């Protein structure tokens, strides 16, 4: 068997998969780009370079030679290093779409392992193949839970860890009614959505009456909503002085917590239509503090 051809083919394949040039791979292992080019055309690297080549490419030496005959289960450190390298490569290549899809796929595969470790179908094949069907996948433990939406055009992941005291903190919050009161008011919800759809990078500032006009809300009603919109960071308030007179101006803020809140609410509203797959070993109630 001509191992020089095998290793050359694999070096080229794994190098391109890592988005490395021949020069970058050469620099990483202490040779020139021309040497890497020679390997990929059928030349054999020096034996002492093989561990560094394999490490740089994120594979084993046996895999370079196609000698692996059994499944290798990576350690957590190895897995995290591979994931970090993949994410770095995608970001450097400005390939956010591939990175997002990979993150979603990896979390789904971990979640799915609770059901079956073999022959796991790609999460994107599942989503694309079940258009119009509301599906979720949940993994529920006393230590925490995952919630994955497999709804077409609504891929969504929630991962929570049940730290001691978390439930007590959640149930002890006194401002839920204020927040939900704002969002249950049609004008309040309209204002909140406006601030996210009209986000301005230049930080344009408006008077309260101008914002009310832009949002198509009666000025008096808008002024009632203002404290809550500022309180929950949909708007920022600033006081300015003009000709010794003080005025308040406002600019919209991109509240990144609002979108996942809407997505979670959408899934809750439509939960009766969802097909759920889940694994549960949880013994404590969700809204009950853990026993000491």
pLDDT tens string 106-145: 888 888 777 765 557 788 888 888 887 888 888 888 888 8
Report residue 215's pLDDT band, with 50, 70 and 90 as the boundaries: very high
Reading the block at residue 292, the tokens are 């000491």
Q: What is the mean pLDDT of residues 219-239?
A: 93
Phi then psi for 267, rounded to 5 degrees? -65, -35
Q: CA quadruple 32, 38, 41, 47: dihedral positive or negative?
A: negative
Using DSSP's 3-state secondary structure scheme, residue 161 falls into strand
Indicate if the pLDDT at residue 202 is higher than 70: no
Give the model's pLDDT for residue 279.
80
Angle formed by the axes of helices 219-231 and 186-197, to 10°? Answer: 60
Indicate if the pLDDT at residue 2 is higher than 80: no
Give domain 172-255's CATH architecture.
Orthogonal Bundle (1.10)
Q: Which CATH superfamily is domain 3-72 in?
A: lambda repressor-like DNA-binding domains (1.10.260.40)
Residue 77 has what DSSP assignment?
A: H
> Is 222 or 111 the better-scoring residue by pLDDT?
222
Q: What is the mean pLDDT of residues 19-45?
A: 92
Burial level of 220, CB count in 10 A (0-12/13-18/19+)? Answer: exposed
Q: Residues spanned by CATH 1.10.260.40 within the chain?
A: 3-72
Report residue 292's pLDDT band, with 50, 70 and 90 as the boundaries: very low
DSSP run (H or E) holding 279: strand 274-280
Give the model's pLDDT for residue 136.
86
Reading the block at residue 259, the tokens are 């979108």
DSSP run (H or E) holding 275: strand 274-280
End-to-end alpha carbon distance in the chain: 63
Give the model's pLDDT for residue 225.
96
CA–CA dist 234, 67 (Å, integer): 58
Instruction: Please name the residues in contact with 155: beta carbons below 8 A apart, sequence gap of 6 or more.
Output: 104, 123, 127, 149
Instruction: Please name the residues in contact with 41: beta carbons below 8 A apart, sequence gap of 6 or more.
Output: 8
Whether residue 82 contacts residue 59, with contact meaning beta carbons closer than 8 Å, is answered with no
Angle formed by the axes of helices 219-231 and 208-215, to 10°? Answer: 100
Indicate if the pLDDT at residue 257 is higher than 80: yes
Q: What is the pLDDT of residues 159-194, one digit of tens each?
A: 888 888 888 888 888 899 999 999 999 999 999 999
Q: Residues spanned by CATH 1.10.10.10 within the chain?
A: 172-255
Report the range of poorest mean pLDDT among 13-17, 36-40, 94-98, 286-290: 286-290
Q: What is the pLDDT of residues 38-87, one digit of tens each?
A: 999 988 899 899 999 998 998 888 888 877 655 667 788 888 888 888 88
Report the range of poorest mean pLDDT among 26-35, 77-86, 271-280: 271-280
CA–CA dist 182, 89 (Å, integer): 43
**How high does pLDDT run on average in the chain?**
85
Reading the block at residue 286, the tokens are 């969700």
Instruction: Please name the residues in contact with 205: beta carbons below 8 A apart, sequence gap of 6 or more.
Output: 238, 249, 250, 251
Residues in the chain, how many?
Answer: 292
């Amino acid at each position: 068997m001509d191992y020089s051809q095998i290793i050359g083919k694999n070096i080229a394949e794994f190098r391109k998969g890592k988005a490395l040039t021949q020069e970058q791979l050469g620099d990483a292992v202490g040779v020139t780009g021309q040497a890497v080019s020679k390997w990929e055309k059928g030349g054999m690297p020096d034996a002492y370079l093989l561990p560094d080549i394999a490490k740089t490419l994120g594979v084993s030496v046996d895999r370079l030679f196609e000698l692996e005959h059994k499944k290798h289960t990576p350690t957590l450190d190895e897995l995290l290093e591979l994931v970090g390298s993949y994410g770095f490569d995608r970001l450097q290549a400005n390939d956010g779409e591939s990175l997002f899809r990979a993150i979603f796929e990896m979390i789904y595969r971990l979640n799915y392992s609770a059901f079956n470790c073999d022959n796991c179908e790609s999460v994107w094949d599942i989503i694309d193949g079940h258009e119009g069907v509301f599906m979720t996948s949940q993994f529920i433990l006393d230590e925490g839970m995952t919630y994955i939406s497999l709804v077409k055009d609504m891929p969504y992941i929630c991962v929570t860890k049940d730290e001691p005291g978390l439930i007590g903190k959640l149930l002890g919050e006194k401002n839920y009614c204020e927040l939900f009161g704002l969002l249950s008011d049609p004008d309040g919800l309209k204002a909140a959505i406006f601030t996210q759809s009209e986000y301005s990078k230049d930080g344009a500032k408006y008077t309260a009456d101008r914002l009310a006009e832009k949002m198509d809300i009666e000025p008096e009603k808008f002024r009632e909503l203002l404290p809550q919109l500022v309180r929950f960071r949909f708007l920022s308030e600033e006081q300015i002085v003009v000709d010794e007179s003080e005025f308040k101006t406002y600019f919209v803020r991109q509240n990144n917590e609002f979108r996942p809140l809407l997505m979670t609410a959408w899934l809750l509203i439509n939960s009766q239509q969802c097909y759920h797959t889940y694994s549960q070993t949880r013994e404590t109630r969700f809204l009950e503090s853990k026993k000491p």
